[in-house]
Amino acid sequence: MNNTLLLTVVIYLTTVQIVNSIQCYQCDSNEDNSCPSNKGFDEDINALVDCNSFEATVPGTFCMKITQESPGWRGWKKVTRRCGSRSDTGVAWGCRWTFEDNGVWKETCFCEDRDGCNGAGLIKTNTLVLAIMILTAGFFILF
């Protein structure tokens, strides 16, 4: 009886996976009306993308929001939200402001503390195996 219970626990533990997955918003204001550059971002109409999945345009371990704005009264503004895999400064948190050679102002913000801006350490398990484990344990307790 103890060997069976031990085997059941071992099977369960082999199905548990530690998942470090970050989910970010992914959109470009030049291509997507739900990603505006001139008003608030609506999290309800934009979906999070898993940065380790095929859906991410750039796979990564943190989120980025890049805002670019040109000078002058006829200027433009562009906002890009996506996953990031490496920052050019080596720091993946906070914001950095620069002026590019063509006069475009650029703000790049990094975050990794929560989903949507973002960090997740989740325990993922197979629910079928978990149900079998509970039934097996209940069987051993009753009999």
**Whether residue 24 is found in the same domain as residue 12:** no
Give the predicted TM-score (pTM) of the model.
0.65
Q: What is the pLDDT of residues 38-49, one digit of tens each?
A: 888 888 888 899
**Whether residue 94 is found in the same domain as residue 136:** no
**Whether residue 91 is found in the same domain as residue 133:** no
Nearest Cα to 23, choosing from 92, 91, 122, 119? 119
Below-50 pLDDT ranges, the chain: 17, 118-126
State how many domains the chain has. Answer: 2
Q: Which domain holds residue 7?
A: 1-16+125-143
Q: What is the pLDDT of residues 87-103, one digit of tens each?
A: 777 766 788 999 998 88
DSSP one-letter string for 22-47: -EEE-EETTT-TTS-SSS---TTTS-
Q: Please give the pLDDT value at position 2.
A: 66
**Whether residue 96 is found in the same domain as residue 133:** no
Burial classification of residue 59, based on how many CB atoms lie within 10 Å of its CB (0-12 exposed, 13-18 middle, 19 or more buried)? middle
Q: Please give the pLDDT value at position 15.
A: 55
CA distance between the termini of the chain? 10
Average pLDDT score, the chain: 78
